[in-house]
């Protein structure tokens, strides 16, 4: 790598970052701890999702962000863990939202969240219905279908071709949004494992200090990401 | 029975920009003042400190710095025929919460309106005649002129610590500034911030096209700064976490960096948090308020706070709600056109172009909320309304402001929204796209208004406020004009792919995607008690000891971000209270 004026060389950066890690013992421990705690997804005990739902979320997110090609897939990023933890928390229960009735979930989508269900309840009600549709249409539940049938199912869901009751028509939009959140959120929320998604696109995470950079025009920022807890990748 | 607190000279509802300005200026008069803040207390440390605030999920997506709809929200419908439904989760606009209010989470774009915008009806009448004003448009002059307001804009800019380059000092056009801005009595308090790569490409293209680029005016410190209250700011490090976040760097103009600590030093000022004002209480003569009743979240009871002066300084939506609940001003009726409170709700009409350059590195995470280069060549003062067939205008800006990937992942139109193709596209395009945004005016219409909802209530049993709002053909035509001009300029920039994003004619208001938190009007200023809720000093026409500050005062929305006008009007109001009202409390007009 060519040394740029005012920018530490890659070599100097590696030396500097090694020294910093040695000094900041907390960050180093945090990294070690996080890696050790990452149980394999098939041994993970969900906080909210039941076995059927977990299988669905594993299978669906694996198609929404597949593993093949460059960059991590949803499973490598541990997106299903993120979704489970979010649904178990105050997002799942819509703690901050106005949920008082009367509700009219039959209105057009541009009226916003109008189902009486919170996000956790939407997953709970929608997943068995989607599995039923898969059984009728493709002969097996979603998690047991071939990838191309799974993709066809997700496409049908997105286009509104899977008939669902009005209170869960928002399911696909929610699932896709949560999947991308889990892919790109800080790893402390359970997804974006090892910050691999940030490394893939070149987002430096919580660095948030670029004083010298506004006038370095058309030069790619060279440092990898840091997390809120101080891990580096 | 409600607890009663000791009487104060002044009670302020809401402790954000306008509440803290009113507090500090009136504290200098020696008055006993209490501010009541619905939300929590918050300071840079610990609330906004690094690294906790640098959390896109918690603050950018789950919106933990904002008002929670469960506590307070509105219902929304697009027209009288639709049933209004609650704005249950935040989308289109994001009202703030807690000490500092919207001043903590804004982007820092601090504009003054153009001279023509404050006298817009007269400007249109004098140049094209009143016949070009559409029948449904409620176009009025502000009851203040730019010349009257200039010292107060200057005052707010010094307090808020604004960085920029003047384009017009006392009528003399300045090289490098905005030649179309209203005159300034002096240069900006701080020089402009450095220009990022995307903004430099826009600047070059704009210059080549004969346009007049200048640095966007930023409530972001470009250097160490001490304001007139002795508050200190430090230079911005382009961390890229402005909008939706408090600034961990003491660089963004916020009440926390510009007013609050100075205000708290006055022994005659105090504030209470977790104190949600439920209504303004009226004297038996009906001409004055006696104080406010609030809900104390700590003791879980209603409290009456008597005061001689009531200043409504909460967010625009909450101010209007309180006025409707308290009988301040006759509620506006959209069918008859009578009444004033809730009238002229307005918003903002925006669009944009995204340019994808395969080989360019924009480092989109290096930026700030008010970053970049702007032009005003297609602004209100520069458009021939008679020829173009609309009333309005926009400023444009290019400048990186956040590269946070959950929300900021521009991909070429037609890219799959999931699957292998999506994953490939995010790897290919992240960091290689820039945008030019057009930020446009929004006029006021007979149909767009605020009133009380007949069905839904808040946790205190009060009716929610109902917003009736839809896009209007006039503003959509303005947007289409900006689209044509933006397409023209974008074509000259040599991008691999250019995507255009503007609302089409006939577009319906959609509450889901974030658009802007520039909600305006509802307690508009006017020169007569039949056309607005407050006079030129933000004083309620029918309750002379009630003052309502903020963007609710806007007669129609300007083409700019509202804070510069909000801050200027706050100083204008508080100056009138100090110099005219305290010595002889009465209607000032």
Each residue's pLDDT tens digit, B26-82: 999 999 999 999 999 999 999 999 999 999 999 999 999 999 999 999 999 999 999
* pLDDT band of A33, cuts 50, 70, 90: very low
A206: nearest CA partner in chain B: B54
Q: Which of A187, A210, A231 to mutate to test the interface with B (most CBs of B within 10 A)?
A: A210
Total CB pairs under 8 A between chain A and B: 173
Alpha carbon of A170: minimum distance to chain B alpha carbons (Å)? 12
pLDDT tens across B210-246, in order? 999 999 999 999 999 999 999 999 999 999 999 999 9
Domain ranges, ordered by start, for chain A: 10-95+114-201
Residue A38, pLDDT score: 87
CB-CB contact of B562 with B347 (8 Å): no
**Residue-by-residue DSSP string for B523-584:** S-B-SSTTT-SB-TTSBBTT-TTEEE-SGGG-SSB-SS-SHHHHHHHHHHHHHHIIIIITTS
- ipTM passes above 0.95: yes
Torsion-angle region of residue B250: left (phi > 0), alpha (psi -120 to 50) or beta? left
Band (pLDDT 50/70/90 cuts) for residue B1 is low
Q: Does B456 reach chain A within 8 Å, measured CB to CB?
A: yes
Cβ–Cβ < 8 Å for B201, B362: no
Whether A36 has a pLDDT exceeding 70, the answer reads no
Contact status of B513 with chain A (Cβ, < 8 Å):
no
- Cα of B387 to nearest chain A Cα, Å: 34
Can you tell me which residue has the tokens 């974008």? B490
B584 φ, ψ to 5°?
-160, 80
Measured N-to-C along each axis, helices A79-88 and A171-184 cross at an angle, to the nearest 10 degrees, of 110
Give the pLDDT confidence of B157-191 residue by residue, as tens digits: 999 999 999 999 999 999 999 999 999 999 999 99
Specify the pLDDT at position A6.
Answer: 40
pLDDT exceeds 50 at position A7: no
| Residue A14: Cβ within 10 Å count | 11
Is residue B163 less than 8 Å (CB to CB) from chain A? no
Q: A200 to chain B: which residues are within 8 Å by CB?
A: 426-427
Cβ–Cβ gap B69/A213 under 8 Å: no
CB B18 within 8 A of CB B550: yes
Q: Judge: A64–B197 Cβ closer than 8 Å, yes or no.
A: no
Q: Any CB–CB contact under 8 A between B239 and chain A? A: yes
Touching A: B residues 86-115, CB under 8 Å = 86-89, 91
Residues of A in contact with B195 (CB under 8 A): 214-215
Task: Determine the residue of chain B that is closest to A190 in CA distance.
Answer: B57
| B427 near A CB under 8 A | yes
Minimum distance, in Å, between the CA of residue A117 and any CA atom of chain B: 12
- Kindly state whether B455 is in contact with chain A, defined as any CB-CB distance less than 8 angstroms: yes
When pLDDT is cut at 50, 70 and 90, the band that residue B2 belongs to is confident
Model confidence at B138, in pLDDT bands (50, 70, 90)? very high
> Quick check: B373 and B211 in contact, CB under 8 A?
no
Mean pLDDT of chain A: 89
Active-site residue, B449 included: no
Q: How many CA atoms are closer than 13 Å to the CA of A124, on its beta-carbon side?
A: 12
DSSP B381: G
Could you say which of B241, B361, B406 has the minimum Cβ distance to residue A180? B406
Q: Which residues pair with B375 in a beta bridge?
A: B396
A132/chain B closest Cα distance in angstroms: 23
3 state DSSP class of B168: strand
Name the average pLDDT for chain B: 98
Q: Which residues of B touch A64 (CB under 8 A)?
A: 418-419
pLDDT of residue A13 exceeding 80, the answer is no
Report pLDDT digits (tens) over A160-208: 999 999 999 999 999 999 999 999 999 999 999 999 999 999 999 999 9
Among chain A residues, the shortest Cα distance to B423 is held by A65
Q: What average pLDDT does the segment A78-86 reach?
A: 98
User: Is the pLDDT confidence value at B297 over 60?
Assistant: yes
pLDDT band, very low/low/confident/very high, at A37 (cuts 50, 70, 90): low
Q: What are B503-545's pLDDT values in tens digits? A: 999 999 999 999 999 999 999 999 999 999 999 999 999 999 9
Task: Sort out which chain B residues have CB atoms less than 8 A from A184's CB and list them.
Answer: 56, 405-406
Cβ atoms within 10 Å, residue B460 = 13
Picking from A98, A210, A217, the nearest residue to B239 by CB comes out as A210
The DSSP call for residue B204 is H
């Amino acid at each position: 790598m060519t040394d740029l004026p005012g920018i530490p060389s890659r070599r100097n950066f590696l030396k500097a970052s090694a020294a910093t890690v040695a000094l900041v013992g907390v960050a180093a421990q945090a990294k070690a701890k996080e890696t050790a705690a990452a149980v394999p997804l098939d041994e993970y005990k969900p906080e909210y999702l039941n076995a059927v739902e977990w299988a669905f979320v594993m299978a669906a997110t694996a198609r929404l962000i597949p593993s093949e090609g460059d960059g991590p897939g949803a499973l490598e990023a541990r997106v299903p863990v993120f979704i489970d933890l979010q649904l178990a928390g105050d997002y799942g229960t819509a703690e901050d939202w106005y949920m008082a009735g009367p509700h009219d979930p039959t209105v057009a989508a541009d009226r916003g969240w109008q189902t009486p269900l919170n996000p956790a309840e939407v997953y709970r009600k929608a997943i068995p219905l989607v599995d039923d549709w898969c059984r009728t249409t493709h002969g097996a539940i979603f998690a047991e279908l071939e990838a191309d049938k799974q993709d066809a199912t997700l496409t049908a869901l997105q286009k509104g071709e899977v008939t669902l009751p009005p209170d869960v028509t928002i399911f696909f939009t929610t699932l896709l949004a949560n999947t991308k959140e889990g892919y790109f959120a800080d790893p402390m929320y359970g997804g974006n494992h090892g910050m691999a998604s940030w490394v893939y696109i070149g987002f430096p995470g919580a660095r948030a200090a670029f004083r010298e950079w506004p006038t370095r025009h058309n030069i790619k920022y060279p440092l990898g990401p840091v997390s809120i807890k101080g891990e580096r990748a | 029975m409600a607890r009663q607190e000791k009487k104060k000279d002044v009670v302020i509802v809401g402790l954000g920009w306008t509440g803290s300005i009113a507090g500090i200026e009136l504290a200098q008069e020696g008055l006993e003042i209490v501010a009541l803040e619905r939300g929590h207390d918050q300071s840079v440390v610990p609330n906004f400190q690094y690294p906790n605030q640098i959390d896109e999920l918690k603050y950018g997506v789950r919106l933990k710095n904002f008002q929670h709809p469960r506590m307070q929200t509105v219902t929304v419908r697009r027209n009288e025929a639709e049933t209004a439904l609650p704005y249950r989760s935040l989308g289109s606009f994001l009202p703030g919460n807690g000490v500092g209010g919207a001043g903590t989470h804004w982007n820092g774009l601090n504009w003054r309106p153009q001279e023509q915008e404050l006298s817009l009806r007269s400007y249109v009448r004098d140049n094209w005649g009143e016949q070009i004003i559409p029948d449904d448009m409620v176009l009025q002059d502000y009851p203040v002129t730019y010349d009257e307001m200039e010292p107060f804009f200057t005052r707010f800019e010094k307090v808020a610590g604004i960085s920029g380059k003047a384009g017009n000092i006392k009528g003399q056009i300045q090289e490098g500034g905005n030649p179309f801005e209203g005159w300034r009595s002096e240069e900006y308090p701080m020089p402009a911030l450095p220009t990022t790569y995307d903004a430099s490409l826009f600047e070059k293209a704009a210059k080549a096209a004969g346009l007049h680029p200048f640095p966007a005016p930023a409530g972001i410190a470009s250097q160490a700064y001490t304001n007139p209250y002795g508050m200190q700011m430090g230079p911005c490090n382009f961390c890229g976490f402005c909008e939706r976040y408090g600034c961990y760097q003491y660089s963004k103009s916020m009440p926390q960096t510009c007013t609050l600590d100075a205000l708290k030093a006055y022994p005659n000022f105090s504030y209470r948090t977790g104190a949600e004002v439920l209504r303004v209480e009226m004297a038996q003569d009906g001409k004055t308020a006696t104080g406010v009743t609030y809900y104390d979240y700590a003791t879980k009871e209603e409290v009456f706070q008597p005061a001689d002066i009531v200043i409504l300084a909460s967010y625009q939506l909450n101010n209007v709600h309180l006025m409707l609940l308290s009988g301040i001003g006759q509620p506006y009726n959209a069918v008859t056109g009578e009444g004033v409170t809730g009238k002229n709700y307005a918003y903002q009409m925006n669009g944009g172009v995204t340019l994808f350059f395969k080989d360019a590195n924009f480092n989109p995470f290096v930026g700030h909320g008010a970053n970049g280069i702007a032009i005003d060549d297609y602004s209100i003062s520069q458009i021939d309304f008679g020829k173009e067939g609309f009333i309005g205008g926009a400023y444009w800006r290019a400048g990186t402001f956040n590269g946070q990937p959950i929300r900021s992942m521009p991909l070429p139109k037609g890219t799959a929204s999931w699957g292998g193709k999506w994953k490939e596209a995010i790897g290919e395009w992240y960091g290689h796209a820039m945008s030019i945004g057009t930020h446009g005016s929004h006029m006021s219409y007979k149909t767009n208004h605020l009133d009380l909802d007949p069905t839904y209530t808040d946790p205190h049993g009060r009716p929610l406020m109902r917003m009736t709002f839809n896009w209007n053909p006039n503003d959509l035509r303005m947007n289409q004009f900006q689209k044509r001009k933006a397409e023209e300029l974008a074509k000259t920039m040599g991008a691999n792919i250019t995507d255009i994003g503007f609302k089409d004619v006939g577009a319906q208001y959609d509450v889901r995607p974030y658009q802007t938190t520039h909600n305006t009007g509802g307690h508009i200023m006017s020169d007569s008690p039949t056309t607005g809720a407050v006079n030129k000093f933000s004083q309620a026409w029918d309750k002379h000891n009630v003052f309502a500050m903020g963007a609710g005062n806007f007669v129609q929305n300007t083409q700019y971000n509202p804070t510069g006008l909000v801050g200027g009007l706050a100083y204008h109001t508080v100056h009138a209270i100090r110099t005219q009202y305290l010595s002889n409390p009465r209607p000032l007009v």
